[in-house]
Structure 1
Amino acid sequence: MTYPVAQLLTASTFHPIKNELAENSIRNALEKFTLTQDDAARIREFISELRSCKNISVGRANKLTFTLVAWRRFIGPFSGNTIGDLYAAIPELRNAKSYRERPFKQNTTADIVAILKQFYHWMIENKYSDINENKIHKLRRCNHGPKSMPADPRLPITTTVQMNMLITSFFWVPMLQ
């Protein structure tokens, strides 16, 4: 029995990833005065270095660019920020909403902070920022607070394994010999 061969879809036909999307994002932010010319130049240089030295894909370059452009909602121009500005931006990010008016998911905030840390490590390495590198390293991903805490703080946090053990021990009846 023969089966028809399915047409192979490449990444470009299924999810078109274009080089110009990142540049359009930077250009739009410049037009809206969200980014400064200096910020745009730093982002372009950062992405160019990663594309040439670490061989990142177009999709990854786009994600990094979009994230850095979006970070400017929370902080000032990249080269003028202090560690205090970055510390103040993390709680703002935790409470912020996406452009769809939904709170950011925990994984998203972790990605955003990781990208900011990567960018600032690069800026420090290239002498574009005077922030202490150890302070950048201390930045942690966002914790969404009440959602990750138990309802009653007096209750111990239990895992699924602990709960299963409790249920099993409750219903276990020793066999009589």
Structure 2
Amino acid sequence: MKKIIFATGNANKMVEVRMILADCGYEIVSMKEAGIDIDIVEDGKTFEENAIIKATAISKTKEAEGCVVLADDSGLEVDYMDGAPGIYSARWQGEDTPYSIKNQMIIDALADAKEEERTARFVCAIAAAFPDGTVTTRRGVIEGMIAHQPAGENGFGYDPIFFLPEYGKTTAELAPEDKNKISHRGRALEKIREVL
């Protein structure tokens, strides 16, 4: 069976990716499962650049020979905070800072924001590096608002504060299969599935 190596150490993300790409005809493994342990400096200026950096670095390892490598870079853009945390979402306020604290910091930063100023979006860029050396990217976006308080136990990261007015829920309150249908990562992966 053809193999996809997905460039992440995030177990939650692997669960999502496997659900979304379940019937694509590839075995999907994480970097760890593929035996790849390399440090990659993500110094791109956009989500796409960072995804390409990760995908190409991993595709050059001997463990990735003959495999398709997928890498994503995703994050939360809060309009009231001039698009922050953006490409720094995972590292914002320190990589080891719990998301419960990061989420509260964003809510606090929007304390004086009017309701219509609480707009935000999740962005996900996925790069696919193929064995022949070609690389392509696809982007998925979901628009929403920053909630006034965290809600929901599903999802991870900023999901508890990302509110979807049309559902009346945060992405952390959605069932995983419902979230995957509409999420930024789900949308980007669906576009990559067409490429695969």
**Which category of TM-score, normalised to the shorter sequence, fits these structures?**
under 0.3
More strand by proportion, 1 or 2? Answer: 2
Structure with the greater relative contact order (CA < 8 A, sep ≥ 6): 1 or 2? 2
**What TM-score do the two structures reach when normalised by structure 1?**
0.26
**What TM-score do the two structures reach when normalised by structure 2?**
0.24
